[in-house]
Amino acid sequence: MQEIRGKAKEEVGRVLSSGLAVDFPWRTWHRGVCIAQSLKIPREPRPGEFNKIISRLLETPNARAIIMFANEDDIRRVLDAAKRNNQTNHFLWVGSDSWGSKISPVHLQEKVAEGAITILPKRASVEAFDRYFRSRSLSNNRRNVWFAEFWEENFGCKLGMHGKRPGSPKKCTGKFITLRSE
C-alpha cells in the first residue's frame, strides 16, 4: 500500500459489485488515502452501464488508482469498458481475490489489466471441518439443500429424475468412499 499511497496520495476511486459492503473508506482515510468516488455496479446492469462507470471515474482526473471489489463478470466488463474507451494505460487497478487467482476476469483484457495489484488472502485448511465434510454422504446429510447438487457435480452422476445434471450417463449410488479435494 505504501507505493500506491505515494502515487495516489490524494485520491483513488472505488468500484463495488452490488451487494458487497466494505468498511473501506474509513480505514483508508486514516492512512492518508482519500476515496474520490465510490461507484456501485447494479445487480442487473443495463447496456452502457460499464461505459458510464469509466466516464464517471474519468471525471476525477487525479484518481488513477482504482480499487475494485467486484465479482469476476463485473471485473471483466469494467476492464472491457476501459479498453473500449481507450483507457488502457490510464488506471492502476487494485483488485480483490475475485481476479487475483483466476484468468477469466482478465482473459482478452491483458493489456488493460497490466500492472494490476491483486490481493489474495492467506488460506488455511481446517482439519476438523475437512474431516467432518469428508464424512458426509447422501444418507447422513439430508438437511443441506445444496448437498445433492454438490454430490452430482463432484461425482459426475445424476440423482434420480429430478437431478440437476441432465444427460449424466450414470446414476448416483451414494456408495462413494471419499470426496475429491480441490
The model's confidence at residue 16, banded by pLDDT at 50, 70 and 90, is low
Q: Are 94 and 71 in contact (CB under 8 A)?
A: no
Choice among 47-61, 92-106, 155-169 with the minimum mean pLDDT: 155-169
pLDDT category at 21 given cuts 50, 70, 90 is very low
The one-letter code for the residue type at 140 is N
Is residue 14 within 8 A of residue 66, CB to CB? The reply is yes
Residue ranges matching CATH 3.40.50.2300 in the chain: 2-118
State the average pLDDT for the chain: 76
Q: Quick one: the chain helix, strand, coil %, rounded to 5? A: 35, 15, 55
Report the distance separating Cα 22 and Cα 26, nearest Å: 10
Q: How many CB atoms lie within 10 A of CB 104?
A: 13
Confidence of residue 139 (pLDDT cuts 50, 70, 90): confident
Domain 2-118 in this protein, CATH class: alpha beta
